[in-house]
Structure 1
Amino acid sequence: MKSLLISFQQLLFMVKKDKMLLLICFVPILCGFIFRYGVPIFNQMSIQYFKIDFHQYYSLIDTFYGILISDMLCIVSALIILEERDDHIINGLFVTPLGKIGYLISRLGIPTLMSFIFTCILLPIFHISSLPFDMMILICILGCMQGLIVSLLVVSLSSHKLEGMAVAKMASLESFVVLIPYFMHSAYSYLFAWVPTFWIGKGLVNEQVFFMLMGLFISVLWIVILVFVFNRKLA
């Protein structure tokens, strides 16, 4: 446990040293203010000038925000992993008491847990919809799992930090699949059933926890596969 905490403290120190990564950590708070106060103002202007009301999509915006929080925090951790791999630090850490499993926990597990905690704090503060409590908790859980999936995609598909930033942007596009159930009601929408965020959107549209649980199951499959791929890359 002590080695895990020391390793996580080292991660925080590296984030503090890199101003760009430190800035990314504050993006969720900035976006929270924009979503909480900017979206209702924009909606009022839209109603006044264009007679279009976006109020029915507020739950979708809250979901985007829940996913965004975890994405940002987990991407920071993924970029640190790439930096350590570039500097050939990882292999040295594997032979310490920390070990490979301890390293993965300190670099992926703890940041994912932290992202869940921050999502549980920030989403209730900045939410603009009247999501039921159980739905909000599931969004927090699924949001942090999406963050873990994105970070695993970054470290599995990238060779260096610069490439990792590009992969992070591409992987984050997965979040937009949550739109599919809102605007595509035919059976063809299930072509996206392999993407976890599809089931989040499905759960919001139908207001059913079952679809959220399906998203949880698909997310676990993604994580298991990506951990296996990343572990082989480290070998």
Structure 2
Amino acid sequence: MKAQKKAFLQMLSVIGKDGMLLMACLLPVVCGILFRLGIPGVEALLCTYFQKKELLSPFYGLTDVFYSMLAPAMFCFAAAMVVLEERDEGMASYLCITPLGRNGYLISRLGVPAVLAAAASGALLVPFSLQRLQGPAVGILAVNGGAYGLLYALLILRFSSNRLEGMAAAKLSSLLMLPAAGAFFIHDGMKYLLWIFPSYWAGLSVSEQQPALGLAGIVCAAIWGLLLL
């Protein structure tokens, strides 16, 4: 545990010295402020202009689902970039044969960031969610977000050999967020095709107001993770 803690703190030091990765970690806070203050304001302007009672508000829940995955994605993206850099420099192989070991290395680089990202996601959802989510809804979305972040990092590492390729893989992997929208817009048989995507279950838990449905997303993400490891 001491070696894992030291390795994790060393990774934080690397992130803190990298402007791009540091900004990626701060982005969820900035987006939370913009979403919370900007979207309701835009909704008010649009409703006044089009003489409607609501336009965007029926989809506030979808915004919250996407936001719940943003912090984990950014934190785990930063961790994945550090791993890619260490892999490119040969440091990853060296660290795996130290007392830290391969499992300790993976925990410090992926496991701990995913857990902390889930906690951060829950903490950010409380003040910034547009639907004012609370209790089980926040908890389920936060855990789903952490699982998505871990899966996001694994996809980047699986299909990249350096940071440049990692940036491209990150853009493609972010598409895994999109199935969450299917829970709000797809209601026919096509929805069954989305069951294999963790984000779909997160979206469904909000659209149906049944947080327990999010548990299926966690199981789904775990299966994806086992296949990618």
TM-score scaled by structure 2? Answer: 0.95
State the one-letter code of the partner of 1:136: V
Alignment partner of 1:169 is 2:171: yes
How far apart, in 2, do the equivalents of 1:83 and 1:97 lie?
21
Q: Which residue of 2 aligns with 1:105?
A: 107
4+ residue runs over 3 A deviation:
none
Shift of 1:207: 1.7
State the one-letter code of the partner of 1:109: G
Give the stretch that moved more between structures: 169-178 or 198-207. 198-207
Deviation track 1:159-186 (CA, whole Å, cap 9, x = no partner) reads: 1111101111111111111001211110
State the one-letter code of the partner of 2:182: I
Shift of 1:209: 3.2
Shift of 1:94: 1.3
**8 A contact 1:59–1:130 mirrored in 2:** no
Q: Which residue of 2 aligns with 1:159?
A: 161
How far apart, in 2, do the equivalents of 1:2 and 1:54 lie?
48
State the one-letter code of the partner of 1:15: I
Q: Which residue of 1 aligns with 2:97?
A: 95
**8 A contact 1:198–1:215 mirrored in 2:** yes
How far apart, in 1, do the equivalents of 2:101 and 2:12 lie?
19
- Give the 3-state SS of the residue equivalent to 2:213 in structure 1: helix
How far apart, in 2, do the equivalents of 1:19 and 1:158 lie?
21
Q: Which residue of 2 aligns with 1:65?
A: 67
Q: Which residue of 1 aligns with 2:13?
A: 13
State the one-letter code of the partner of 2:102: K
Shift of 1:125: 1.5
Q: 1:216 aligns with which of 215, 218, 224?
A: 218
Q: Which residue of 2 aligns with 1:230?
A: none
Q: Which residue of 2 aligns with 1:139?
A: 141
How far apart, in 2, do the equivalents of 1:20 and 1:204 lie?
32
Q: Which residue of 2 aligns with 1:231?
A: none
Q: Which residue of 1 aligns with 2:85?
A: 83
TM-score scaled by structure 1? Answer: 0.93
Give the stretch that moved more between structures: 124-133 or 9-18. 124-133
**8 A contact 2:156–2:169 mirrored in 1:** yes
Q: Which residue of 2 aligns with 1:232?
A: none
Q: Which residue of 2 aligns with 1:46?
A: 46
Shift of 1:132: 4.5
Give the stretch that moved more between structures: 129-138 or 33-42. 129-138
Q: CA RMSD in A?
A: 1.2
How far apart, in 2, do the equivalents of 1:136 and 1:208 lie?
12
- Give the 3-state SS of the residue equivalent to 1:65 in structure 2: helix
How far apart, in 1, do the equivalents of 2:134 and 2:113 lie?
26
**8 A contact 2:35–2:128 mirrored in 1:** yes
**8 A contact 2:126–2:134 mirrored in 1:** no
Shift of 1:157: 0.8
**8 A contact 2:126–2:133 mirrored in 1:** no
Percent of matched pairs sharing the same residue: 36
